[in-house]
Amino acid sequence: MSGFVERPEPVQVPGLTHLHTGKVRDLYQNAAGELIMVASDRTSAYDWVLPTEIPDKGRILTQLSLWWFDQLADLAPSHVRSTDIPAGAPADWAGRTLVCTSLDMVPVECVARGYLTGSGLAEYQQSRTVCGLALPEGLVNGSELPAPIFTPATKAAVGDHDENVSYEEVARQVGAEIAAQLRQTTLAVYNRARDIARERGVILADTKFEFGFDERPGGEKVLTLADEVLTPDSSRFWPADQWQPGRPQPSFDKQIIRDWLTSPAADWDRTGEQPPPALPQDVIDHTRAKYVEAYERLTGLSWT
């Protein structure tokens, strides 16, 4: 059992139709057919959306995504049209709202890996492959790969796991031409982001993107970056000066939440039927600080 511990009621805004409540984002549509994405302060772990929020998290994710969209615009356009708050929306939507083009979404999580960790490490330890791609012997947790790899996954519903799939399966689902475009663009964007992060003393270990097609006047369909991009929720960022292959790496994400939930202090069985407990204040504060640090180190800007 998993999902929402407490499913939030969607905010009702005149002129907007609520479409979906995700782990972090609430999705609406306006009369013009544009999508309104609102990033909440919700957080998730072990397939549960937790009952405790992390203050400012939604704004940090939104502002960091906007910064990255600007860095990547020549490689892939984004779905963002504006950051204007719809008339009648709560003041709290400021800084966490994106007005976006409605895309024909590709049903694939486009994952790029430059380092071995997570589910990729688990597969490698069994078969020396990741998503069916053969890798050399001798790699350990945190090893840099010989070259970045494209390791797609199916997109899961709230409470379910994304499932790694082979490139061949993606080609079967969406066609060989689109699969090749997804792989090429994913790796190009990863390489650009990896280099930018590296200049700032941060390792981008892996990340996932979502893409859709924007149909332009005249019928041209343009592959477009959607959702969030290169945030601590969608990426593994490690401090470069602490990178040490062969062990779990310190990271700029919600690992402190996972660690607490699996500690005796939480008194929670992640394999059981009971939902996870509320987070203590020190875990909330530490997690928020990690998100702020990621934003400031990557962008060079101060979070206020």
Q: Positive or negative, the Cα torsion across 126, 127, 130, 135?
A: positive
**How many of the other CB atoms lie within 10 Å of CB of 12?**
9
Alpha-carbon distance of 155 to 56, in angstroms, equals 26
Q: Is 113 helix (H, G, I), strand (E, B) or coil?
A: strand
**Is-contact 108 182, C-beta < 8 A?**
yes
Mean pLDDT for all residues in the chain? 93
Extract the tokens encoding 271.
């394999």
- Quickly list H helices, 131-229: 167-174, 176-199
Q: Which helix (H) or strand (E) holds 149?
A: strand 144-150
Looking at residue 1, what is its pLDDT?
46
Alpha-carbon distance of 298 to 200, in angstroms, equals 6
Looking at residue 266, what is its pLDDT?
95
- Tens-place pLDDT, residues 19-36: 999 999 999 999 999 999
pTM score, two decimals?
0.93
- Tens-place pLDDT, residues 238-250: 999 999 999 999 9
Please choose, from the candidates 157, 211, 196, the residue with its C-alpha nearest in 3D space to the C-alpha of residue 71: 196
- Tens-place pLDDT, residues 73-100: 999 999 999 999 999 999 999 999 999 9
At residue 160, does pLDDT exceed 60? no
- Tens-place pLDDT, residues 1-16: 468 988 899 999 999 9
What is the pairing mode between strands 133-134 and 144-150?
unpaired
Helix axes 176-199, 167-174, angle to 10 degrees: 130
Looking at residue 156, what is its pLDDT?
59
Alpha-carbon distance of 91 to 93, in angstroms, equals 5
At residue 127, does pLDDT exceed 70? yes
What is the pairing mode between strands 48-49 and 25-29?
unpaired
Alpha-carbon distance of 44 to 254, in angstroms, equals 9
